Amino acid sequence: MREQAKRWLADQMEQNHISAEVIANVLEIPVEKLRIGTGRVLEADEFLRVCAYLHIRPENISID
């Protein structure tokens, strides 16, 4: 998943006051995949699971 999408997710996590560590533990996704600049790729299914967990619609992503 592109870094822009990960940045958007990071903003959403911050707005929802949920840390990457909590999401990583609950969804069993390596926390490095949720952090920007790690070089780890967030797969599409993982992205959608994070969106569902945060109750956000992935089609609302704003990538410039």
On the question of pLDDT at 57 being above 80, the answer is: yes
Model confidence, pTM: 0.86
Domain-located, residue 63: no
Q: Which two tokens stand for residue 48?
A: 């959608």
Domain-located, residue 29: yes
Domain-located, residue 11: yes
Domain-located, residue 9: yes
Total domains in the chain come to 1
Type of residue at 25? N
pLDDT for 64 equals: 60
pLDDT for 3 equals: 81
Cα dihedral 25, 47, 59, 22 in deg (nearest 10):
20
Residue 42 belongs to domain spanning: 3-58
Contact by Cβ (8 Å): 20, 64: no
Position 63 confidence tier, pLDDT thresholds 50, 70, 90: low
Type of residue at 59? E
41 or 64, which is more confident?
A: 41
Kindly report, residue by residue over 22-45, the tens digit of the pLDDT: 999 999 999 999 999 898 999 999
